[in-house]
Amino acid sequence: MNPSTVRYHGLDALRGIAMLLGIVLHAALPYIPELPRELWPTDKDSSQAIRIIYDFIHIWRMPVFFILAGFFANLIVTRRSWRAWWWNRLLRIGLPMIIFFPIMGFFVPWIWKYGWSGEFYFFYSNDGQPHHLWFLWHLMIFVFCTALFRGPFLLSAMILGFTERIQLGFIQKTFVRIGTLAAQMFLRPRIPIGFICLCLFVNLPTWGELILNPLASGLYFVFGYALYTNNKLLSSIISNWASYLIAALVMFLVYSVLVLTDALVGAGTDLDGLLELLKYVVKVSCATVFSFGFIGLAEGRFGQFNERLRFISDGSYWMYLIHLPIVAFITFSMFDWTIPVIFKFMIAIALTTFVCLVSYKFFVRNTLIGLLLNGHRSSS
């Protein structure tokens, strides 16, 4: 197949699934122990099981998303041009963000007021800006940074292994050689210890949370950008996906034990600082290894065209854009129900997913909105 037309169906589906799992995360937040009520309306009951589900998804979801964002960015740049990618991002990310700001301002504030106090009345507020779209802000930062500093961006990509498609002079070729050596150190195909160490350093200011750390999300983005042309590494990730997932699951088990231990020990003890450091190291390491595992699994086992996965991939962007007020309202309306929280959790996920899927299929998929969000759809 012509490499200029091949579609990475597995990675495309993985990106869509990562976005849709935001529904699960936002349905889980009201039931997580110790979650500050001023941050999110919370139920009177909580669940450690739901917290583990939340932690499992939260650890790897956004690192995978930013890696894939970088991967597909390089795909567009390689097949078309930088200008085409910049225009594509402005149209499909910048414009929807402008449109959804006032929409979220209409829905989110009164729903949160309802969740906190039980009072039900409509009002508009700028506090309704779509905070759940923070990762789109990061992508737009990358767009502007690459537009302003394309040269330094390419050099940083070279350090992570992007060396195959660059025609440069003597000085630049020296950087390529340095980049190749660095890639051998940081991107060893089977054991990405060097890259994990780099992630630990860059994630340290926010202890692994990407929302306030564009440098960390940018590192994953640059890695994904480099991965598109690093066929050896991509092939190794696909071949060893099972080993990565097994190792990541073991690390996640350790992380869960540390989280539960921290909850039992409590803050202010002599072990508190050590536990936080251990959690941080395991969390960031787990994120990288899970990312490798799921990327390898997606492309290795689901790399062929699948109509259902394609539907999920195409619809995920719309469904993520609209899901927050839906899942929040459904969840908050069940606070007074006397049923186990796990059932409330499942009901919120199921109803929200149903509403989002139906709205996409009948009101978005074949409309101008669908064209804006996803572009022209091919049959394969």
CA angle (108, 110, 111) in 5-degree steps? 60
Taking all residues of the chain, what is their mean pLDDT, rounded to a whole number?
85
pLDDT of res. 39: 81
CA distance 226 to 160: 6
The H or E element that residue 287 is part of is helix 272-301
pLDDT of res. 128: 53
Residue 371 has pLDDT above 90, yes or no: no
Check: CB of residue 63 under 8 Å from CB of residue 291.
yes
Q: Over pLDDT 90: what percentage of the chain?
A: 56
Residue 26 has pLDDT above 50, yes or no: yes
CA distance 280 to 52: 16
pLDDT of res. 127: 64
**If you average pLDDT over residues 177-182, what whole number do you get?**
50
| Buried-exposed string 324-342: b where 16+ CB fall within 10 A, e elsewhere | bbbbbbbbbbbbeeeeebe
**If you average pLDDT over residues 201-224, what whole number do you get?**
93
Residue 231 has pLDDT above 80, yes or no: yes
Residue 249 has pLDDT above 60, yes or no: yes
Q: Of 124 and 298, which is predicted with more confidence?
A: 298
CA atoms within 13 A on the CB side of 190: 4
Q: Which two tokens stand for residue 96?
A: 């929807």
Q: Of 29 and 259, which is predicted with more confidence?
A: 29
Could you give phi then psi for residue 207, rounded to 5 degrees?
A: 55, 45
Residue 132 has pLDDT above 90, yes or no: no
> Tens digit of pLDDT for each residue in 274-301?
888 999 999 999 999 999 999 999 999 9
pTM: 0.88
- Interhelix angle 48-79/134-148, nearest 10 degrees: 30
**Residues whose CB falls within 8 Å of the CB of residue 371, separated by 6 or more in sequence, listed in order:** none
- Interhelix angle 48-79/9-28, nearest 10 degrees: 150
204 pLDDT band, cuts 50/70/90, is very high
**If you average pLDDT over residues 11-31, what whole number do you get?**
96
Check: CB of residue 182 under 8 Å from CB of residue 248.
no
CA distance 380 to 370: 17
364 DSSP 8-state letter: T
Residue 37 has pLDDT above 90, yes or no: no
CA dihedral 110, 112, 118, 124 (to 10 degrees): -10
pLDDT of res. 167: 43
Check: CB of residue 225 under 8 Å from CB of residue 74.
yes
Q: Which two tokens stand for residue 45?
A: 């009951």
**Residues whose CB falls within 8 Å of the CB of residue 195, separated by 6 or more in sequence, listed in order:** 160, 186, 187, 223, 288
Q: DSSP string spanning 28-87?
A: HGGGSTT--TTTS---SS--HHHHHHHHHHHHHHHHHHHHHHHHHHHHHHHHT-HHHHHH
**If you average pLDDT over residues 300-322, what whole number do you get?**
92
Ranked by mean pLDDT, which of 19-28, 85-94, 96-105, 194-203 comes out on top? 19-28
